[in-house]
Amino acid sequence: MTNNLMVKEIVTEVLKRVETYFQKEKPILLVIHENTEKNILQIKQLKKDWDVVEHLSANMDVPSIHQAVFLDVNQDLFVKGAVGIADTNESILLAKLLLAGVKVFLVPDESLSNILNLDKDKHPNKSYVSMLQEYENQLQRFGVVLQLLSTIVPENSKPINEPVCHEQGTFSDKLLTKQVVETWRSKQINIKPNTIITPLARDIARERGIKISTNDAKGGEDTC
């Protein structure tokens, strides 16, 4: 019994150190922006999930990077990117990133966002709006993603089976981590008997009032 307790304590401590270590390893994100107060706040938000490399639009040197985001994209950069025009600092940088195979996110400014969300069939100039909205499809074919800043998160920040297991309240993977608990939408997580729960996952579950329960082979339920 003593040996089992010692092994359990050692495993718990190792898991805690491993999870803490990987939390420090954030993916790198190149951020292209104008130096405004709004963008400074947006960059602080991005730094929660990313190792941010700031790159002002006046500097066109392209660092070795795999993912990049342009903040407050206006109609000018949007259209130029879609049709391949590169005659400004930002459009030249966008072209270089696309040619280098970098995954690019564009965060539209308020004006562009409103245009992209218009109902073209009800607009007095249907053809013009339709053309602009088609540019979005063109950019997507280039691998560009237009989305809100809040939805730009690392690909591994959410569990792969999140939509299914969250709705059913059942987690079927072998390791329950802090990241899984943080994105859990219900107040109970049902896990398998052999699922390992990291210490940070337990802490977050406790803070958020989420109960972690184990279903045994006989259909019973134990609360962790």
- What's the 3-state SS for 48-93? CCCEEEEEECCCCCCCCCCEEEEEEECHHHHHHHHHCCCCCHHHHH
d(CA 71, CA 122) in angstroms, rounded, equals 29
d(CA 56, CA 32) in angstroms, rounded, equals 5
What are the φ/ψ torsions at residue 195 (nearest 5 degrees)? Answer: -75, 135
Residue 219 C-alpha from the chain's centroid: 36
The pLDDT value given to residue 142: 93
Summarize pLDDT for 100-159 with one digit per residue, the tens. Answer: 999 999 999 999 999 988 888 889 999 999 999 999 999 999 999 998 887 787 865 543
* Pair 135, 78: CB distance under 8 Å: yes
* Pair 41, 72: CB distance under 8 Å: no
The pLDDT value given to residue 160: 36
Class of domain 24-151: alpha beta
* Pair 69, 107: CB distance under 8 Å: yes
Strand partners, 52: 29
For residue 52, CA distances in Å to 15, 30, 34, 113 come to 27, 6, 15, 24
The pLDDT value given to residue 10: 60
User: Per this entry, what is the length of the chain?
Assistant: 224
The pLDDT value given to residue 60: 62
Tokens of 111: 């004006």
C-alpha angle with apex 103: 99 to 108, nearest 5 degrees? 105
The pLDDT value given to residue 198: 83
Provide the residue ranges of all domains of the chain, joining segments of one domain with +: 24-151, 158-214
Q: What is the pTM of this model?
A: 0.60
The pLDDT value given to residue 8: 61
Low-confidence ranges of the chain (pLDDT < 50): 158-168, 220, 224
Strand partners, 85: none
The pLDDT value given to residue 151: 78
